[in-house]
Structure 1
Amino acid sequence: MTKVTKEMTTRRLPGRGRQWRASANRAHPVQVLRMAILLSYCSILCNYKAIEMPSHQTYGGSWKFLTFIDLVIQAVFFGICVLTDLSSLLTRGSGNQEQERQLKKLISLRDWMLAVLAFPVGVFVVAVFWIIYAYDREMIYPKLLDNFIPGWLNHGMHTTVLPFILIEMRTSHHQYPSRGSGLTAICTFSVGYILWVCWVHHVTGMWVYPFLEHIGPGARIIFFGSTTILMNFLYLLGEVLNNYIWDTQKSCAFGSAAFWQYESLKSRVQSYIDGIKADWLDSIRSQKEGDFRKEINKRWNNLSDGQRTQIHSLRVMEISHLNSNTLKVSKEKIRCMDGRSTSEAIVVATAKQQAQRSNRWGQRHKQR
């Protein structure tokens, strides 16, 4: 039974080649996830366009908002991803060079769009929106909009963009363009949108975002320049993140080099701190010793002549007592010298000489 089932599953039936190829080229979970993300963006765009807001009726409509432009970019990008997945499923195993060449173009377009538009613009929208919202929501998203835009739609436009793009970057490798061309493209997009916002203000007399009304011309120029720099930084961040995720050898080498630099710097800092600590302890120790000597000299100078004479006499009595004890020990050793060996006699003689020296030293102190 097992043999027959195996033959039936592996045998290619005549006239059913396409069905057999389709069953072999089944969609992966990543491809299904991309399709789900694309459908979610389509749903968000449809619900957003269905809302009747006064700002949608003015000059520029929804296209003057970077959030809406970002939604379109994300939807187009994931649409290209789904189209690439379908093309890879259809061309797998066909051997058609023309189809493979078209598939490579789609993959290049997908990678370029992620690097230049999807990642930097998406992260910029999420980060800047929530930072300004946390500071003062009236400057970017007034409470009046809660009557038109539901909460889930707001998070769909300003929150889920970031996890979706990070999932795409983590599940699929993307080839970044050259850094010069990528930075040029993102600068062109940033400057183009800034000029578009200024043109809308020139035509309507109102700024697209309310906080631009509360700052001066110089502050606006600084803000626009800062946003362009931030866009370039986010492009570089995406490139570094992509290389870190997929280029394991470089990431491991970078990690080991960073760890080595950290350990080297740590050892240098530790040795420097130890040197400073040792110098500080030495200075304190020498200072304490000097202070102790100064204190002794000060107290000695404050004593009277009688007190000094009394201290000298006590010192002489102490020395005499020590010498008398030493002499008693020497006499006992001399009494026990008879009948002992030569080495013991030498020891006793040496002790006797030391006792005599001690007596002489004590007599000198008594005479003084």
Structure 2
Amino acid sequence: MLFSRSALLSILALAIGANAHTYVWSVWVNGVDQGTGNGIRMPGYNGPPGIGYANSPVRDLNSIDLRCNVLGDIPNPTTIPVAPGDIVTLEWHHNNRTAQDDIIATSHKGASNIYLSPYPPTNTSWVKIQEEGETAPGVWYVAGKLNDRAGKQDVRIPEGLAPGNYLLRSELLALHEADVAHDVNMNRGTQIYISCVQLQITGSGTVTLPDGVGFPGAYHDSDPGIVFNIYTTVPASTLYPIPGPTVWAGAAASPDSPSYGTTLGYTVAQPWSTWIGDGFSTATLQTSLTIDLGTATTTKTYVPNWPTAPATTTSMSSSTPTPTGGSVNKYGQCGGIGYTGATACVTGTTCSKLNDYYYQCL
């Protein structure tokens, strides 16, 4: 029996058990809730029956699941439109989106990294734009500040960033079993909770991301912070060494939290299927998995299939806005509902309609 994505997510949600694990349930933009599940690559069931859950961590540093979690290659049919300078808030939860949810177990102390990559990601495309770890000896971001803020994690989109399609990847590193490498003891190791969000960055910026790291490949057992005993390590003036590269110099400083409103403000962006071509159309979401309702596990091993090149986007309308103002660079926004900027594209490009809200110079 085949299930739609919505049915799949409902089934996976039922599989989440008592373990105080976590993943992102919703995204906010400048304090406006974009709606449960919108734009998020929801993780799949991770582990054998009775042990794994849809909110389980990834421990294997060589697994492709380290990129965007289990089933991370399967697109969400919706995307989140943002502009450079916007504050994106990721809302982490364990069991549900309520004030009573415990977010993540208080024993799961650790750090967090946030990466950004153009789509599709490569082995050198993930750039770290934010990190938070041990703010004082024994005072942690994960299971500390994150829980105190009801699971809300804020990050600012870098100023001047060139428009296009991106994945925002946030990870929480829980260290309560990190005293030994996962390769040494398969039941232990740093627990990495990963959520990826599909972003459509608008505007006419020209800043491109530098070369970064790949997932898998960014972390190794020998890296500082991957094997770390939080119970015996003596607090010192040098705090926990957060794994991974340094934060990109072009990243924005960690923002102050916005004022969170109660109104749902999701705006439909470019359909995800137009980002990745016919081979990854939204029909894939309805046919890629068969689910056993008794165990919420797949009936066969799923092999991730990440695209290696962006789709070639064609104009979706023969009509374009009347050119006004200055020239818009290639891939910049040139029209759409509510857009008030320039609409004349640079020579060699045409203002093409991607949807009612977004025209782009292509």
TM exceeding 0.5: no
Q: Which has the higher helix share?
A: 1
Q: Which has the higher strand share?
A: 2
Into which bin does the TM-score normalised by the smaller protein fall? under 0.3
Larger Rg: 1
Q: TM-score, normalised on structure 1? A: 0.20
Q: TM-score, normalised on structure 2? A: 0.20
Higher normalized contact order (CA 8 Å, seq sep 6+, divided by chain length): 2
